[in-house]
């Protein structure tokens, strides 16, 4: 994972609640064994609708996805995170995330920004009025700032995840430093669980 | 202060904790399948890493396998490649795989328990959100993404932040005709799709205690639908009875030792939960979803809600969009809505008890004309058991299509799909837009309601049938 400290740019307002991972990337795309090439699958069932917000040219080049509550619920498919990133997004803002999606995001360097529902609704309205609102997400400070409207809000990010984002650390590498503790644990597992 | 069941399992699996890092948990059982593992194995190879415990890792082929003509090669080339990739990866890293056609093959959450791989007090993970199913045995079981699959393969552990605890108590007794599926749909109606986020849910109360292992699996299976990290139930005599003699369960002295430990796995009386939900079992009638998320639930005897009745603007808008997608009118009686297809299967409801309850409704009756049906057993073991009991004949004589095991129409990764506008009564777990095929309209129900609906041609309970 690459280090990430500041994400800045414009946002696409995806004004829907309960956008599940089946919507983000339909199951047909899950047959692929590769890790790349998922951008065309992103919201593919909605992309045919010319009024779908991602087809609106005024949001072209946006790198932040602003969504309604319960974003990324459902299936554990990490393909959802890959599709969002490969389509050019670096962060997703929502009042609440599906837990597995959120976890998957943090493993890939896609920043989940959780903000209060009322602020999210207001932001949604503002971005619909002004697509050029410039978002600055600061990982070190855990803040989202939009200078044009004088908004600064904190968002939660567990310190170990924040650290991994900032340093671009590999989770497996961190755990392998504790191999001795794993070996010790394995020796004391209940006897009936030993299989080998 | 005492500990909850999940806190006990958590602390028994702590490899390390503290110093600014999340807890590191040991994983007792890692189940894998063709869809979420290929990129994880690639990651291992890229970094020159091995699988730490192939003996604690078990694979099967379930998500994309066809449910007919399985003696022939898979026609879809991309699916075929994915299956071959799993076979190559498991062979290369020394992992047991139960391939299509094997006597032990089936949906990963059906075969784990029936092989006795899932046991009380274990930590169980799988790259599939319905891993919560295994919580029925008093295991801490949860779904993970592909990066975490790679992490478990390499280290047999997972870093996990501590979760909140949630109790969901269902008191009293269920009315005749209501099932575990109706209970979990009623819970979803109560707490919504986000009600469990950040928590591990424990199901408790007299209704839960009275459920069979199959019913408990149905209940835990859908924990992820309200966002819980996991759902679990304290093991008891029902659990031990189910496990005794299963292939991978302990025997002799080991069995006694294991049971003695399993009996310590309950929530202490003085333990407290961060969130508590209480439901009255007697008030739970057969349920059905009307919308496009599993929290949009009403009784089968009910009417399609009116979006204008929702005070919250976001909920109102979601309801409007759902009715539009589902092609439904507010105020319509559910029983008046006809279906095109009925699907009985999935990791939620494809076990022997589910098939028995659907067959009991089907026996001596016929599927309504024009209704397409699929009965897909959860595993080959379930299929053979059902055939030994003659359930296949009952289904076939009633006009149901009897298939080979797999995930099938639950997620439309194999040829079993809905077409645009096709309406389906389904015993699966997700009614998301397009989940069962692009443009398809899914209504979640129990196996007995699904069978009754197939016969009536519109939503119905068995009691509605003449």
Say if B317 is an interface residue toward chain A (CB within 8 Å).
yes
Q: Name the closest residue on chain B to residue A157, using Cα atoms.
A: B161
**What is the spatial distance between Cα A96 and Cα A66, in angstroms, rounded to a whole number?**
12
Helix (H, G, I), strand (E, B) or coil at B119: coil
Per-residue DSSP letter, B338: B
- Contact status, residue B267 vs residue B236, Cβ threshold 8 Å: no
Q: Can you give the pTM of this predicted structure? A: 0.97
In a domain, A192, yes or no: no
A56 lies in which domain range?
Answer: 6-169
- Contact status, residue B132 vs residue A63, Cβ threshold 8 Å: no
- Contact status, residue B189 vs residue B285, Cβ threshold 8 Å: no
Q: Across the strands, what pairs with B21?
A: B18
- Contact status, residue B434 vs residue B440, Cβ threshold 8 Å: yes
Residue B299, H or E segment: strand B297-299
Q: Contact B413/A45, CB-based, under 8 Å?
A: no
Q: pLDDT tens across A98-130, in order?
A: 999 999 999 999 999 999 999 999 999 999 999
Q: What distance, in Å, lies between the first and last C-alpha atoms of chain A?
A: 33
Q: Report which of B432, B433, B449 is spatially closest to residue B302, judged by C-alpha positions.
A: B449
pLDDT (0 to 100) of residue B390: 98
Q: Name the closest residue on chain B to residue A187, using Cα atoms.
A: B15
Q: Report which of B301, B323, B313 is spatially closest to residue B459, judged by C-alpha positions.
A: B301
- Contact status, residue B152 vs residue B164, Cβ threshold 8 Å: no
Residue B16 backbone zone (phi > 0: left; psi -120 to 50: alpha; other: beta): beta
Count Cβ atoms within 10 A of the Cβ of residue B13 and give its class: 0-12 exposed, 13-18 middle, 19 or more buried: buried
Say if B20 is an interface residue toward chain A (CB within 8 Å).
yes
pLDDT (0 to 100) of residue B312: 87
Helices of type H across B246-403: 252-262, 313-326, 352-362, 380-388, 391-398
In a domain, A188, yes or no: no
What is the count of structural domains for chain A? 1
DSSP string for residues in chain A: -----EEEE-EEEE--S--BHHHHS-GGGGG---SS--GGGTTHHHHTSTTSGGG-GGGTT--EEEE-SSBTBS---THHHHHHHHTT--EEEES-B-HHHHHHHHHHTPEEEE--HHHHHHHHHHHHH-TT--EEEETTTTEEEEGGGTEEEE----HHHHHHHHHT--HHHHHHTTHHHHHHHHHTS-GGG---
Interface test with B, best of A72, A175, A187, A191 (most B CBs within 10 A): A175
- Contact status, residue A2 vs residue A47, Cβ threshold 8 Å: no
> How many CB atoms are closer than 10 A to CB B104?
17
The residues near B273 (Cβ < 8 Å, ≥ 6 apart) are: B4, B165, B166, B167, B202
* Sheet strand arrangement including B164-171: B230-232, B199-204, B164-171, B275-280
The residues near A131 (Cβ < 8 Å, ≥ 6 apart) are: A10, A58, A59, A62
In a domain, A180, yes or no: no
Say if B325 is an interface residue toward chain A (CB within 8 Å).
no
In a domain, A84, yes or no: yes
Residue B76 backbone zone (phi > 0: left; psi -120 to 50: alpha; other: beta): beta
CA atoms within 13 A on the CB side of B91: 7
Tokens 């289904």 map to which residue?
A: B395
In a domain, A176, yes or no: no
Residues of A in contact with B297 (CB under 8 A): none
Q: Report which of A165, A138, A164 is spatially closest to residue A152, judged by C-alpha positions.
A: A138
Tokens 């998500």 map to which residue?
A: B63
CATH number for the domain harbouring residue A86: 3.20.19.10
**What is the spatial distance between Cα A142 and Cα A7, in angstroms, rounded to a whole number?**
11
Q: Contact A160/B85, CB-based, under 8 Å?
A: no
Distances (CA, A) of A79 to A28, A43, B139, B466: 11, 12, 27, 48
Tokens 């109790």 map to which residue?
A: B167
Say if B94 is an interface residue toward chain A (CB within 8 Å).
no
Q: Across the strands, what pairs with B86?
A: none
Residues of B in contact with A176 (CB under 8 A): 154-155
B20: closest CA of chain A, how far (Å): 6
Task: Enumerate residues 69 to 128 of chain A having a beta carbon within 8 A of any beta carbon in chain B.
Answer: 69-70, 73-78, 81, 96-100, 103-104, 107-108, 121
Q: Name the closest residue on chain B to residue A23, using Cα atoms.
A: B433
Cα angle B254, B256, B259; round to 5: 105
Interface test with A, best of B50, B109, B145, B223 (most A CBs within 10 A): B145
Q: Name the closest residue on chain B to residue A184, using Cα atoms.
A: B15
B303: closest CA of chain A, how far (Å): 23
**What is the spatial distance between Cα A147 and Cα B441, in angstroms, rounded to a whole number?**
44
Quote ipTM for the complex. 0.95
Residues of B in contact with A183 (CB under 8 A): none
pLDDT (0 to 100) of residue B1: 87
**What is the spatial distance between Cα B453 and Cα A103, in angstroms, rounded to a whole number?**
39
Taking each helix axis from N to C end, the angle separating B146-155 and B38-46, rounded to the nearest 10 degrees, works out to 50
Kindly state the tokens that stand for B116.
């006795």
Judged against a pLDDT cut of 80, whether residue A194 lies above it is answered with no
- Contact status, residue A72 vs residue A22, Cβ threshold 8 Å: no
Task: Enumerate residues 205 to 244 of chain B having a beta carbon within 8 A of any beta carbon in chain A.
Answer: 224-225, 227, 229
Per-residue pLDDT of chain B (466 residues; tens, 9 = 90+): 899 999 999 999 999 998 889 999 999 999 999 999 999 999 999 999 999 999 999 999 999 999 999 999 999 999 999 999 999 999 999 999 999 999 999 999 999 999 999 999 999 999 999 999 999 999 999 999 999 999 999 999 999 999 999 999 999 999 999 999 999 999 999 999 999 999 999 999 999 999 999 999 999 999 999 999 999 999 999 999 999 999 999 999 999 999 999 999 999 999 999 999 999 999 999 999 999 999 999 999 999 999 999 998 888 999 999 999 999 999 999 999 999 999 999 999 999 999 999 999 999 999 999 999 999 999 999 999 999 999 999 999 999 999 999 999 999 999 999 999 999 999 999 999 999 999 999 999 999 999 999 999 999 999 999 7
**What is the spatial distance between Cα B39 and Cα B33, in angstroms, rounded to a whole number?**
12
In a domain, A134, yes or no: yes
**What is the spatial distance between Cα B357 and Cα B417, in angstroms, rounded to a whole number?**
24
Q: Contact B317/A17, CB-based, under 8 Å?
A: yes
> How many CB atoms are closer than 10 A to CB A32?
18
Residues of A in contact with B143 (CB under 8 A): 76, 100
Residues of B in contact with A179 (CB under 8 A): 155
In a domain, A185, yes or no: no
Q: Contact A16/B321, CB-based, under 8 Å?
A: yes
In a domain, A187, yes or no: no
- Contact status, residue B326 vs residue B424, Cβ threshold 8 Å: no
Q: What is the dihedral of CA B130, B134, B138, B144, to 10 degrees?
A: -50
Judged against a pLDDT cut of 70, whether residue A196 lies above it is answered with no
- Contact status, residue A103 vs residue A73, Cβ threshold 8 Å: no
List phi, psi (to 5°) of A55. Answer: -95, 0
**What is the spatial distance between Cα B380 and Cα B364, in angstroms, rounded to a whole number?**
26
Count Cβ atoms within 10 A of the Cβ of residue A180 and give its class: 0-12 exposed, 13-18 middle, 19 or more buried: exposed
Q: Report which of B211, B216, B454 is spatially closest to residue B339, judged by C-alpha positions.
A: B454
Task: Enumerate residues 129 to 148 of chain B having a beta carbon within 8 A of any beta carbon in chain A.
Answer: 129, 143-148
pLDDT (0 to 100) of residue B315: 87
Q: Contact B129/A100, CB-based, under 8 Å?
A: yes
């Amino acid at each position: 994972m690459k280090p990430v400290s500041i994400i800045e740019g414009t946002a696409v307002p995806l004004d829907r609640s309960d956008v599940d991972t089946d919507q983000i990337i339909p199951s047909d795309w899950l047959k692929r064994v590769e890790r790349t090439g998922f951008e065309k699958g992103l919201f593919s069932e909605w992309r045919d609708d010319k009024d779908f917000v991602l087809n609106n040219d005024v949001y072209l080049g946006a790198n932040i996805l602003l969504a309604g509550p319960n974003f990324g619920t459902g299936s554990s498919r990490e393909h959802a995170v890959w599709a969002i990133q490969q389509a050019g997004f670096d962060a997703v803002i929502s009042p609440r995330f599906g837990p597995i999606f959120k976890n998957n995001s943090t493993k890939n360097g896609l920043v989940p920004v959780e903000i209060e529902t009322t602020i999210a609704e207001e932001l949604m309205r503002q971005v619909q009025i002004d697509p050029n609102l410039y978002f600055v997400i600061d990982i070190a400070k855990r803040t989202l700032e939009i200078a044009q409207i004088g908004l600064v809000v904190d968002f939660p990010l567990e310190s170990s995840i924040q650290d991994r984002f900032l340093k671009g650390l590999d989770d497996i590498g961190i755990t392998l430093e504790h191999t001795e503790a794993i070996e010790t644990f394995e020796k004391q597992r209940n006897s009936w669980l030993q299989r080998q | 202060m005492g500990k909850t069941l999940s806190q006990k399992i958590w602390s028994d699996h702590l490899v390390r904790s503290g110093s600014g890092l999340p807890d590191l948990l040991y994983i007792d059982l890692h189940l894998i399948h063709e869809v979420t593992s290929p990129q994880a194995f690639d990651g291992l190879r890229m970094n020159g890493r091995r699988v730490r415990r192939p003996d604690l890792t078990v694979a099967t082929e379930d998500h994309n396998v066809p449910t007919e003509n399985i003696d022939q090669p898979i026609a879809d080339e991309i699916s075929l490649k994915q299956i071959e990739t799993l076979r190559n990866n498991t062979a290369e890293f020394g992992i047991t795989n139960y391939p299509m056609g094997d006597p032990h093959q089936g949906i990963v959450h059906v075969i784990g328990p029936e092989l006795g791989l899932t046991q009380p007090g274990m930590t169980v993970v799988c790259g599939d959100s319905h891993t919560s199913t295994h919580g029925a045995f008093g295991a801490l079981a949860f779904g993970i993404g592909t990066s975490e699959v790679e992490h478990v393969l390499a280290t047999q552990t997972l870093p996990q932040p501590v979760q909140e605890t949630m109790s969901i108590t269902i008191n009293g007794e269920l009315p005749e005709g209501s099932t575990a599926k109706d209970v979990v749909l009623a819970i979803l109606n109560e707490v919504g799709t986000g009600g469990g986020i950040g928590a591990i849910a424990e199901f408790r109360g007299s209704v839960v205690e009275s459920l069979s292992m199959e019913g408990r699996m149905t209940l835990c299976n859908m924990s992820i639908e309200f966002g819980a990290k996991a759902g679990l139930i304290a093991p008891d005599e029902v659990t031990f009875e189910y496990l005794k003699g299963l292939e991978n369960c302990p025997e002799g002295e080991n069995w006694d030792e294991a049971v003695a430990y399993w009996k310590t796995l309950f929530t202490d009386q003085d333990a407290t939960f961060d969130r508590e939900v209480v439901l009255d079992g007697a008030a739970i009638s057969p349920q059905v979803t009307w919308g496009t998320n599993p929290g949009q639930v009403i009784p089968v005897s009910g009417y399609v809600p009116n979006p204008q009745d929702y005070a919250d603007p976001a909920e109102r808008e979601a309801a409007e969009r759902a009715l539009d997608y589902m092609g439904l009118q507010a105020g319509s009686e559910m029983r008046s809505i006809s279906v095109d297809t009925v699907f009985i299967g999935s990791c939620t409801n494809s076990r022997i008890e589910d098939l028995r309850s659907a067959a009991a409704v089907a026996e001596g009756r016929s599927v309504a004309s024009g209704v397409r049906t699929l009965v897909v057993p959860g595993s080959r073991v379930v299929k053979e058991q059902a055939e030994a009991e003659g359930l296949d004949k009952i289904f076939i004589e009633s006009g149901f299509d009897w298939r080979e095991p797999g995930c099938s129409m639950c997620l439309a990764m194999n040829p079993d799909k809905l077409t645009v506008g096709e309406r389906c009564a389904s015993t699966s777990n997700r009614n998301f837009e397009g989940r069962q095929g692009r443009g398809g309209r899914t209504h979640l129900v129990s196996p007995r309601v699904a069978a009754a609906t197939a016969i009536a041609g519109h939503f119905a309970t068995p009691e509605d049938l003449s």
